[in-house]
């Protein structure tokens, strides 16, 4: 069997956005990751695209019009005009979702890249699509949350549901994937699996007994974990057995994998003890099933490690081994003092997870109870939209509006263009 066809979506201006000096979310990490991917020459092994900026109509497929309009108009300069609605939309200086310069451009770009990836998967132009700028899993229908404004994941899953009867969402960020779970809590067409720190930790949701509602009962899968979890226990006690059972009973047509890197050891906000190899083993395991997969970023606040993680996971998805010595690149000094790709676990960190067997047993039982449920076997596949093939010569801004059916927007840059920097 040949290697998967991998598409990579990036936009050079996405990393230039700035949440503010004391804010832990640094879009600059995307530039670090991109330059590592370039330095390892991984871009030669995949199709590289500059994403289209998502339109307001595309975002309103999930978000309320009023909220999208608010995001499109608000700036640091007119903040006072909007003081009445800032609280309602959970944005501004009193929240963890600041209004910064170019906010709307930023959300358009990270969202557009996820939509482009979902569309390529739907059109079978690629087996795996990567958008490290996406994965903002906390955003709600009419509310920003946890550094997330637009939920690109929900929008990408909605796109995949046009073609696939069932879509699996997998979230290995240290935080619960609450926004995605909430959006699909009452449907059996999307299963969500989230492994996260639980208890006195943002966002506070993701209890093991939160299994979904109405038609979605059993289709929300939550593994609440404690600090210090290691590669071996994360993968072998939980991730692999639970994921395998999901594949058996749910049989998704497509997967969306959120690879939040704040579950790595040494993260500024996280508290797990996963290494780059352990984190990527989860990615590799998902890939092993050969189901069309959209791979997204997410959290990650020790930015040199975020870049290490996502560059390595790009190589894993490409099945192109890369060496542990970081090749010289524009941000080489970030990787001091060892200049190595891989992280080692923190030996001083205790693994506070002593109940993984009971969590695994409970989740496997939840999934077993779904087996034979008629809704799993009898889903009707909705007709695929007739779309126009992406054309290299077209510009990125043809949009026929609400349903986002015009897909003549993806522009394949020359590889040199990938080096374009705006600053
Ligand atoms: Zn996170």
Bridge partners of 129? Answer: 7, 294
Determine the pLDDT at residue 2. 83
How far away, in angstroms, is 269 Cα from ligand 1 center?
A: 8
Q: What whole-number distance in Å separates Cα of residue 294 and Cα of residue 50?
A: 16
Read off the pLDDT of residues 146-155 as tens digits, 9 standing for 90 and up.
999 999 999 9
Global confidence as pTM: 0.90
Query: Which of the residues 138, 164, 196, 279 is marked catalytic?
Result: 138
Cis peptide before 306 (omega within 30 of 0): no
Q: Which domains does the chain have, with CATH numbers?
A: 6-379 (3.40.800.20)
Least confident of 48-62, 213-227, 344-358, 405-419: 405-419
Whether 138 is catalytic: yes
Q: Quick one: average pLDDT of 397-411?
A: 32
**What are the strands, taking DSSP E only, across 46-125?**
47-50
- Residue 178 pLDDT exceeds 70: yes
Q: Quick one: average pLDDT of 374-400?
A: 41
**Strand, coil or helix: 45:** helix
Determine the pLDDT at residue 375. 54
Per-residue pLDDT band at 373 (split at 50, 70, 90): low
Q: What whole-number distance in Å separates Cα of residue 128 and Cα of residue 42?
A: 14
- Residue 410 pLDDT exceeds 70: no
- Residue 196 pLDDT exceeds 60: yes
Per-residue pLDDT band at 307 (split at 50, 70, 90): very high
Binding annotation for substrate:
96, 146, 301
Q: Quick one: average pLDDT of 39-63?
A: 98
Instruction: Decide if 136 contacts 152 (C-beta within 8 A).
Output: yes
**Strand, coil or helix: 363:** helix
What distance lies between CA 56 and its chain's CA centroid?
Answer: 20
Instruction: Decide if 302 contacts 267 (C-beta within 8 A).
Output: yes
Bridge partners of 411? Answer: 50
How far away, in angstroms, is 390 Cα from ligand 1 center?
A: 33
How far away, in angstroms, is 333 Cα from ligand 1 center?
A: 25
Q: What whole-number distance in Å separates Cα of residue 381 and Cα of residue 6?
A: 25
How far away, in angstroms, is 382 Cα from ligand 1 center?
A: 33
What distance lies between CA 394 and its chain's CA centroid?
Answer: 28
Look at the alpha carbons of 35, 41, 44, 46 in this order and tell me if their dihedral is positive or negative: negative
Binding annotation:
96, 146, 173, 175, 262, 301
Q: What Rg value do the Cα atoms of the chain yield, rounded?
A: 20
Q: Quick one: average pLDDT of 122-144?
A: 98
**Strand, coil or helix: 298:** coil
Binding annotation for a divalent metal cation:
173, 175, 262
- Residue 97 pLDDT exceeds 60: yes
How far away, in angstroms, is 144 Cα from ligand 1 center?
A: 14
What distance lies between CA 63 and its chain's CA centroid?
Answer: 18
Q: What whole-number distance in Å separates Cα of residue 402 and Cα of residue 408?
A: 15
């Amino acid at each position: 069997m040949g290697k998967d066809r991998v598409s990579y979506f990036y936009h050079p201006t996405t990393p230039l956005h700035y949440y503010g000096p004391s804010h832990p979310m640094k879009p600059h990490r995307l530039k670090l990751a991109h330059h590592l991917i370039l330095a390892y020459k991984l871009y030669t092994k995949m199709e590289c695209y500059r994403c289209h900026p998502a339109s307001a109509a595309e975002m309103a497929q999930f978000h309320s019009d009023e909220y999208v309009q608010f995001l499109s108009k608000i700036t640091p300069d007119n903040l006072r005009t909007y003081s009445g609605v800032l609280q309602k939309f959970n944005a501004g200086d009193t929240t963890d979702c600041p209004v910064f310069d170019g906010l709307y451009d930023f959300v358009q770009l990270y969202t557009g890249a996820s939509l482009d990836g979902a569309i390529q998967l739907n059109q079978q132009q690629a087996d795996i699509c990567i958008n490290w700028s996406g994965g903002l899993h906390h955003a709600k229908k009419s509310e920003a949350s946890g550094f997330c404004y637009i939920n690109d994941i929900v929008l990408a899953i909605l796109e995949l549901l046009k073609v696939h009867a069932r879509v699996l969402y997998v979230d290995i960020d240290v935080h619960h994937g609450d926004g995605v779970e909430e959006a699909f809590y009452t449907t059996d067409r999307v299963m969500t699996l989230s492994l996260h720190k639980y208890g006195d930790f943002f966002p506070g949701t993701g209890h093991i007994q939160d299994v979904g509602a109405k038609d979605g009962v059993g289709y929300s899968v939550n593994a609440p974990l404690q600090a210090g979890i290691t590669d071996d226990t994360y993968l072998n006690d939980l991730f692999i057995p639970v994921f395998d059972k999901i594949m058996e009973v749910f049989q998704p047509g497509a997967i969306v994998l959120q690879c939040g890197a704040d579950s790595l050891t040494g993260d500024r906000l996280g508290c797990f003890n996963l290494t780059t190899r352990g984190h990527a083993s989860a990615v590799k395991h998902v890939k092993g099933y050969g189901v069309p997969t959209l791979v997204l970023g997410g959290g990650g606040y020790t930015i040199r490690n975020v870049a290490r993680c996502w560059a390595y996971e790009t190589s894993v998805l490409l099945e192109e081994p890369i060496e542990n010595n970081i090749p010289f690149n524009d941000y080489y000094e970030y990787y001091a003092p060892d200049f190595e790709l891989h992280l080692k676990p923190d030996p001083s960190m205790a693994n506070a997870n002593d109940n993984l067997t009971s969590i695994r047993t409970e989740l496997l039982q939840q999934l077993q109870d779904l087996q034979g449920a008629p809704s799993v076997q009898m889903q009707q596949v909705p007709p695929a939209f007739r779309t126009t093939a992406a054309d290299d010569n077209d510009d990125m801004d043809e949009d026929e509006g609400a349903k986002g059916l015009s897909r003549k927007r993806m522009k394949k840059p020359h590889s040199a263009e990938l080096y374009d920097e705006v600053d």
